[in-house]
Amino acid sequence: MASRTPAPRQQTHLAVLIDADNAPAAIVEGLFEEIAKYGIASVKRIYGDWTKPQLGKWKQVLLDHSIQPMQQFAYTSGKNATDSALIIDAMDLLYTRRFDGFCLVSSDSDFTRLAARLREEGLTVYGFGEEKTPKPFVSACDKFIYTEILRASPEAEPAPSSEKSTAANVEEAPKPAAKPKPQKVPLDFIAKVLDDIADEDDDWVHLGALGQNISKLRPAFDPRLYGFKKLSDLIKGHPKRFELQARGATNGGSKDFYVRNAGIAR
């Protein structure tokens, strides 16, 4: 009997909706690198009034990243028609049943109800916004990533020579936004989560399970906010509070990591 070809692994399809009025173009590289960790950006749309000069920086990167600009005029001063257009499109995309999740890129709390509604349909919602984003929107998402950590590191440029530099023909370039300083690690919070999910007979918890439970309680938790690339690095960086143990494959394969609070009697 001929062997069957295994079915291809199902991919996670995401709809990326960007509020151009509340998201800086400087995050675009890091944004899509981050989204690629969670799935394929099948739809990429960005909303704003493209007749206004404020969106000029976004215009420069749309083609490079195949983002579809959605034009929305401001019908009345003081009213944000862009938000309404994004929300309507999100609901239209939801009812196609073609997506596993949504990426909402904005620091605007007006999308709080949208995020909650999408989750009610069983879809995963990833939020992307600045640290000023109101907490209700952050909490409404399954995971929230602060865009400050997605900005490209500023590259040093050589100073122009004195011969070519004159006040008349040299325009001072704008300074790139600085990376945020690492926040204080919530060690007590992590320790409590470990205590809550650990089995009575085994204090060790799989590192992945720890990360999932932390995200459920604090969607905006991200090791990069505290100066660490991964959760395992954060745990290793605090040996007085946590113990990390590698288990599993030894011949070049990947290992599983387990963690527990330090000082537990053996």
Q: Is 125 exposed, middle or buried (0-12, 13-18, 19+ CB in 10 A)?
A: buried
* pLDDT of residue 72 exceeding 80: yes
- Which residue(s) pair with 45 in the sheet? 17, 68
Please identify, among 150, 178, 197, the residue that sits at the C-terminal boundary of a domain: 150
Q: Which two tokens stand for residue 42?
A: 């099948």
Own/partner pairs, 259-263, CB within 8 angstroms, 24+ separation:
259/194, 259/204, 259/205, 259/207, 259/210, 259/235, 260/194, 260/198, 260/203, 260/204, 260/205, 261/191, 261/194, 261/195, 261/203
Residues 21 and 141 in one domain: yes
- Secondary structure of residue 59 in the 3-state scheme: helix
Residues 36 and 140 in one domain: yes
Residues 35 and 133 in one domain: yes
| Residue 73 falls inside a structural domain | yes
User: Which of the two residues, 139 and 5, has the higher pLDDT score?
Assistant: 139
Own/partner pairs, 166-175, CB within 8 angstroms, 24+ separation:
none
Q: How far apart are the first and last CA of the chain?
A: 54
DSSP class of residue 48 equals E
For the stretch 182-200, pLDDT in tens is 889 999 999 999 999 998 7
Average pLDDT value for the chain: 85
Residues 136 and 17 in one domain: yes
Give the whole-angstrom CA distance, residue 21 versus residue 70. 12
* Size of the chain, expressed as the number of residues it contains: 266
Please identify, among 130, 150, 170, the residue that sits at the C-terminal boundary of a domain: 150
- We report the CATH number of the domain holding residue 142 as 3.40.50.1010
| Total tally of structural domains belonging to the chain | 2
Determine contact, residues 248/255, Cβ cutoff 8 Å: yes
| Residue 219 falls inside a structural domain | yes
| Residue 2 falls inside a structural domain | no
Residues 18 and 138 in one domain: yes
Q: How far is CA 168 from the centre of its chain?
A: 42
| Residue 57 falls inside a structural domain | yes
Give the whole-angstrom CA distance, residue 26 versus residue 151. 6
Residues 130 and 203 in one domain: no
Cβ atoms < 10 Å from Cβ of 27: 23
| Residue 181 falls inside a structural domain | no
Residues 121 and 43 in one domain: yes
For the stretch 228-253, pLDDT in tens is 999 999 999 999 999 999 987 656 66
- We report the CATH number of the domain holding residue 242 as 3.30.420.610
Domain holding 195, by residue range, is 187-261
Residues 17 and 129 in one domain: yes
Please identify, among 128, 150, 172, the residue that sits at the C-terminal boundary of a domain: 150
| Residue 98 falls inside a structural domain | yes
Determine contact, residues 262/211, Cβ cutoff 8 Å: no
| Residue 126 falls inside a structural domain | yes
User: Which of the two residues, 60 and 81, has the higher pLDDT score?
Assistant: 60
Residues 117 and 59 in one domain: yes
Mean pLDDT of 10-31: 94
Residues 38 and 111 in one domain: yes
Mean pLDDT of 213-227: 93
pLDDT value of residue 158:
41
| Residue 160 falls inside a structural domain | no
Mean pLDDT of 151-173: 44
pLDDT value of residue 73:
79
Give the whole-angstrom CA distance, residue 158 versus residue 238. 39
CB-based contacts of 127, cutoff 8 Å, min separation 6? 103, 104, 105, 106, 111, 115, 133, 137, 138, 140, 141, 143, 144, 145, 219
pLDDT value of residue 29:
94
